[in-house]
Structure 1
Amino acid sequence: MWPPLAALLRRLSSHPFDSPVIHANLVKSSSISSPIPATALLTAYANAGLPAAASRLFDEMPTRDAVAWNALLACLVCHARPCAAVAAFRDMATAGFTPTATTLCTMAKACATSRALRPGRQVHARSILACQGDVIMATTLVDLYMSCGLVEEALRLFMCTDCPKDVALYNAVISGCVENGRFREAFFILGRIELNGITLTCALTACSATANLMYGMQVHCKALRGGFTLETILCNALIDMYAKCGRTTAARMVFDRMTCRNVVSWSSMIDAYSHHGHGEAALDLFKRMDETVPVVLPNAITFLAVLSACGQSGLVDEGRAMFHLMKRQYGINPGPEHYACFIDLLGRAGQIDEAWDLYCSFSTTRSELSGSICVAMLNACRANMDVVRGNKVALHLLEVDPENPGSHVLISNFHAAARQWFESDESRRIIIDKGLRKEAASSHISSTG
């Protein structure tokens, strides 16, 4: 006899990774036909990071209620599938279910993430009665309109909402204003609230995204006056902001004055040196991590920053040592991004044979070859005019990333460099035939005020 249903549901809530076993038990006991245990199992699959299994279970459910639909929508949004969530929301309406306040909040988040303005407006209209005074809904709708560039609508919603405004709502409107270049409104709202580290960090993050040094420095001044510069998270945001604006000296000054540094602090400062070609400084800072009390251990992101710094500065021996050190001394398995970075370093230095051996070792030991590794290897072949290997890598890249127009452009450029004009034209023709569009590049010049 199988355990009682209540015991299985309690086990699901505390051990979501046991979902397949419990799924089998529910099927054998015929309990899966009820929406309550099926929905609990769907949520467990979502919590265990198995959205495909959750969606498959939902499709197989003989009976669905509003709670089951909400669980599916929450799963899709949580696992970054907003477009699928919008489609499921339409199916829910077609099935005759009236969306609840929970449904509308979830869908507002999905529309904000995917910048789906039209369904977002529909959710907004439905929420006027169902979610009146709900600060979570107001925050998500502000984020939706800001992400779509409709700053006036977001500000009007922010000003007219009758819910008590919390930190999350202020963060949404301030960061949205900064990201859309509406700095006057952002600082007007900053001046109306009691400043805290979270709000200032949010404003700094937006300044980093837009590389706006002048307003980032103003936020820094507000943080100094408010006494928030002892907060580690805020200082990490300051380091990132100054680094994105090209002010590594200012970033290092913030780093040196920090009373408590974590691995994000060290990684951010090393990455700042990496992006501006200061490889030796990045390596020196990495070595200082072992001298701190308490010791801060590097993570995978730290090593990625160090490898990038070595690549930018041509420090081949040091980069090779770091690549092997991460697993030997710290037990960190190199991921695709580490392989890509190291292959790029070797390619820049003319070490094409070693780069090829590394490329082959990854492709034979991993089930899926990463597009970033193929790109790095193809660039290395182009830099060293290794046409034979480059043609092989180009085929691999088309297999792993066929719908990326950047891949076809890169392959076309490789063929052109190798004077393979027919193949180069063919790659360009594929972009036109498939209707692929390469995202336009942009640049930003920050103002120092």
Structure 2
Amino acid sequence: MFRLKLLPCYLPAKNCLYSVLKLTTLTRHHLSNHIDHHLFDEIPQKDISSLNSLLNSYIRNGDAVTTWNLFHKMHCFCTDLNSYTFTPVLNACWALQNPKLGIQAHTLMIKLGVDTEIVPKTALIDMYSKYGQLGDSVSAFYEMGYRDVVAWNAILSSYLRHGLPQKAVDLFVDMRKERLEFSEFTLCSVLKACTSLKAYQKGKQIHALILVLGRDLVVLSTALINFYSNLGQIDEAVEIYRTLSWRKDDIMYNSLISGCVRNKRYDAAMSIMSLIRPNAVALTSALSACSENSDIWIGKQIHGVMIRQEFIHDTQLSNALLDMYAKCGKIREASLVFDKISRKDVVSWTSMIDAYGVHGHGAKAIDLFKRMEEENNVLPNPVTFLAVLSACGHSGLVELGREYFYMFQEKYGLVPGPAHYACFIDMLGRAGQIEELWSLFLGMVEKDVKPSSAVWAAVLNSCRINLDVERGEFAAKRLIQLEPDNPGNYVSLSNFYAAIGRWDSVDELRSIMKKRGIFKGEGGSWVTMHKFGDKFQCENSGAPSF
């Protein structure tokens, strides 16, 4: 066992400063709890500074239980507690997920008169926020006489944690009025708020403020890249990346690659990917790009990198690889990847079930789901529910689809949402079960499930197939009301009118679309041959440019 040999040299009991300083120094270096406790036992006079150091050491090492137990002993022995005692204790209360302990600690702070001091008050703001008690967190903030930037940052985080980005932006405006010096954390937080609000101009102002203040762009670059890419301004995100000629880290790279994928800039994502050392997050984003772009050639190269770099045992990454092969039409390769995943999670099973279903292998999808049920450690989730229903729908397995629709509710307690109803309604409509469809729809409404556009579209398509004119027009009206600017809805309605022979209504609908400036996007396909790709538009007779 490791022991320190310098500690036996104590000063007289009245002045144990040497031991206290030694303990404080060592705990600041994140030594283990065993060593700290050993030192603590050898201190002849246990003063509050040494005890506070030990509390901080325990909570830094993630030992919330020992932190609270030591605090309890300190209180029982009437130790002179001070404001620095409560900061690690409040952190321990949150880590233990026990609001009663937090309230007890807060009550004791009030009793001892240390609740007004800035450090423990800031810890209170953070604790109540993490408990979900935003009101108490805000009250603690506004009770403070003086607030430093750490306290402002704590309440800023509280607003973001509770999904109130506008409150966070308003608070930032108040911070500017107070002429506080912002930290990098402050600026990152307000950029997150601007991202949530889709506030492009406000975010641009924050970017300008960062430049005016001369803050380190390396620290803030990831937040800026996230902001611009989430708002679809990928060129500006790439420009920030380019201005940093050095000191680029994996987090920044991963953020930019993810941004490129979200904005369908797959070429840029792959270009950046080629510059970095592979990591799981970057490879997952790159595989997502391959999935969306059906780029099997690049996807296979990433598969090779995974094998060489020993990422093949990463479950999340393997799930992305499985999805890539499935979306590229390589169902056999997807199945092989699935079989090699050693720790299959619910995403692994659901992805493979969905892959079989999309490719028309409904029976295989159902067999795989039955295998999943036999696994004691994996339970289906709502996405699995949808994948099974979709597989039944693609293969025309109406009886099985009906059985599973009710079985998921009874056996697993999964409540169907609009997506599940839309899938089952579409299945019934294609099978000609129009009356059962309407019975299901009315039951959904009675259960207070609000019909989504997907539900109304499924109803409309079913009415088209079954020539149900009256109820089809009702569904069409609701669909257009819900999404008046979606060209796909007008196409569905046009197909409905054409099916029942109302060509005048088809012409009228096209005139309405033209007046409103609604145009259906041009159809196209992306074909990859020998590493090169070409996009073919509808009615484009030109030769490929390979």
Query: Where on the TM-score scale, by shorter chain, does this alignment land: which range?
Result: 0.7 to 0.9
Instruction: Write the mapping of 1:331-370 to structure 2, written as runs, cut at 5 A.
Output: 331-366=413-448, 368-370=450-452
User: Offset of 1:103 from its aligned partner?
Assistant: 3.2
CA RMSD of aligned residues (A): 4.7
Checking the alignment, whether the CA contact within 8 Å between 2:490 and 2:509 is kept in structure 1 is: no
Alignment partner for residue 108 of structure 1, among 173, 191, 197?
191
* Residue 279 of structure 1: aligned partner: 362
* Residue 388 of structure 1: aligned partner: 470
User: Offset of 1:68 from its aligned partner?
Assistant: 8.8
Query: Which AA in structure 2 matches 1:375?
Result: A
Instruction: Write the mapping of 1:44-193 to structure 2, written as runs, cut at 5 A.
Output: 48=132, 74=157, 84=166, 88=170, 92=174, 100-111=183-194, 117-128=200-211, 129=213, 131-132=215-216, 135=219, 137-146=220-229, 147-150=232-235, 152-160=238-246, 162=247, 165-176=248-259, 179-180=264-265, 181-182=267-268, 185-190=271-276, 193=277
Q: Give the TM-score of the pair, scaled to structure 2.
A: 0.62
Secondary structure of 1:237 counterpart: helix
User: Offset of 1:357 from its aligned partner?
Assistant: 0.5
Residues 76 and 306 from structure 1, CA distance in 2 versus in 1: closer, same or farther, beyond 3 angstroms?
farther
Q: Distance in 2 between matches of 1:12 and 1:424?
A: 67
* Residue 25 of structure 1: aligned partner: none
Alignment partner for residue 302 of structure 1, among 384, 388, 392?
384
Note the residue ranges of structure 2 that are not aligned, 5 or more in a row: 1-85, 104-117, 532-546
Q: Give the TM-score of the pair, scaled to structure 1.
A: 0.74
Q: Once the two structures are superposed, what CA deviation does each residue of 1:399-419 show, in whole Å capped at 9, x if it has no partner? A: 6x2555357526742663342
Query: Which AA in structure 2 matches 1:218?
Result: Q
Residues 326 and 70 from structure 1, CA distance in 2 versus in 1: closer, same or farther, beyond 3 angstroms?
same
* Residue 331 of structure 2: aligned partner: 248
Checking the alignment, whether the CA contact within 8 Å between 2:273 and 2:286 is kept in structure 1 is: no
User: Higher mean Cα deviation, 261-270 or 386-395?
Assistant: 386-395
Matched, 1:447 2:528: yes
Matched, 1:326 2:369: no
Q: Once the two structures are superposed, what CA deviation does each residue of 1:355-408 show, in whole Å capped at 9, x if it has no partner? A: 111000001121633333222212211221211222333344456x25553575
Secondary structure of 1:350 counterpart: coil
Residues 187 and 199 from structure 1, CA distance in 2 versus in 1: closer, same or farther, beyond 3 angstroms?
closer
Q: Distance in 2 between matches of 1:70 and 1:441?
A: 48
Q: Distance in 1 between matches of 2:438 and 2:371?
A: 33
User: Offset of 1:159 from its aligned partner?
Assistant: 2.9
* Residue 32 of structure 1: aligned partner: none
Residues 185 and 406 from structure 1, CA distance in 2 versus in 1: closer, same or farther, beyond 3 angstroms?
closer
Residues 255 and 184 from structure 1, CA distance in 2 versus in 1: closer, same or farther, beyond 3 angstroms?
closer
User: Offset of 1:340 from its aligned partner?
Assistant: 1.1
Residues 145 and 41 from structure 1, CA distance in 2 versus in 1: closer, same or farther, beyond 3 angstroms?
closer
Q: Distance in 1 between matches of 2:456 and 2:416?
A: 16
Residues 69 and 279 from structure 1, CA distance in 2 versus in 1: closer, same or farther, beyond 3 angstroms?
farther
User: Offset of 1:89 from its aligned partner?
Assistant: 7.5
Q: Once the two structures are superposed, what CA deviation does each residue of 1:93-117 show, in whole Å capped at 9, x if it has no partner? A: 8866655533320233345567655
Q: Distance in 1 between matches of 2:143 and 2:487?
A: 44
Matched, 1:267 2:350: yes
Secondary structure of 2:274 counterpart: helix
Secondary structure of 1:246 counterpart: coil
Query: Which AA in structure 1 matches 2:379?
Result: L
Query: Which AA in structure 1 matches 2:286?
Result: A
Q: Distance in 2 between matches of 1:149 and 1:15?
A: 41
Instruction: Write the mapping of 1:31-46 to structure 2, written as runs, cut at 5 A.
Output: none
Note the residue ranges of structure 1 that are not aligned, 5 or more in a row: 1-5, 23-34
Checking the alignment, whether the CA contact within 8 Å between 1:411 and 1:424 is kept in structure 2 is: no
Q: Distance in 2 between matches of 1:274 and 1:81?
A: 40
Residues 154 and 177 from structure 1, CA distance in 2 versus in 1: closer, same or farther, beyond 3 angstroms?
farther
User: Offset of 1:188 from its aligned partner?
Assistant: 3.1
Checking the alignment, whether the CA contact within 8 Å between 1:73 and 1:88 is kept in structure 2 is: no
Residues 426 and 172 from structure 1, CA distance in 2 versus in 1: closer, same or farther, beyond 3 angstroms?
same
Instruction: Write the mapping of 1:205-216 to structure 2, written as runs, cut at 5 A.
Output: 205-216=288-299
Q: Distance in 2 between matches of 1:67 and 1:406?
A: 49
Secondary structure of 2:355 counterpart: helix
Q: Once the two structures are superposed, what CA deviation does each residue of 1:26-61 show, in whole Å capped at 9, x if it has no partner? A: xxxxxxxxx99999789968975x9xx98xx99xx9
User: Higher mean Cα deviation, 106-115 or 387-396?
Assistant: 106-115
Q: Once the two structures are superposed, what CA deviation does each residue of 1:179-207 show, in whole Å capped at 9, x if it has no partner? A: 521256324322xx3x4333322332333
Matched, 1:405 2:489: no
Q: Distance in 1 between matches of 2:143 and 2:515?
A: 45
Checking the alignment, whether the CA contact within 8 Å between 1:143 and 1:172 is kept in structure 2 is: yes
Checking the alignment, whether the CA contact within 8 Å between 1:273 and 1:279 is kept in structure 2 is: yes
User: Offset of 1:291 from its aligned partner?
Assistant: 3.7
Aligned identity (percent) is: 36
Q: Distance in 1 between matches of 2:509 and 2:268?
A: 44
Checking the alignment, whether the CA contact within 8 Å between 1:214 and 1:446 is kept in structure 2 is: no
Residues 395 and 226 from structure 1, CA distance in 2 versus in 1: closer, same or farther, beyond 3 angstroms?
same
Larger Rg: 2
Secondary structure of 1:445 counterpart: strand
Checking the alignment, whether the CA contact within 8 Å between 1:124 and 1:141 is kept in structure 2 is: yes
Residues 312 and 14 from structure 1, CA distance in 2 versus in 1: closer, same or farther, beyond 3 angstroms?
same
User: Offset of 1:302 from its aligned partner?
Assistant: 0.8
Matched, 1:232 2:315: yes
Residues 264 and 363 from structure 1, CA distance in 2 versus in 1: closer, same or farther, beyond 3 angstroms?
same
Checking the alignment, whether the CA contact within 8 Å between 2:422 and 2:455 is kept in structure 1 is: yes
User: Higher mean Cα deviation, 139-148 or 62-71?
Assistant: 62-71
Alignment partner for residue 283 of structure 2, among 197, 200, 206?
200
User: Offset of 1:424 from its aligned partner?
Assistant: 7.9
Greater relative contact order: 1 or 2 (C-alpha under 8 angstroms, separation 6 or more)? 1
Checking the alignment, whether the CA contact within 8 Å between 1:210 and 1:444 is kept in structure 2 is: no
User: Offset of 1:172 from its aligned partner?
Assistant: 1.6
Q: Distance in 2 between matches of 1:425 and 1:41?
A: 60
Q: Distance in 1 between matches of 2:202 and 2:240?
A: 16
Checking the alignment, whether the CA contact within 8 Å between 1:251 and 1:269 is kept in structure 2 is: yes
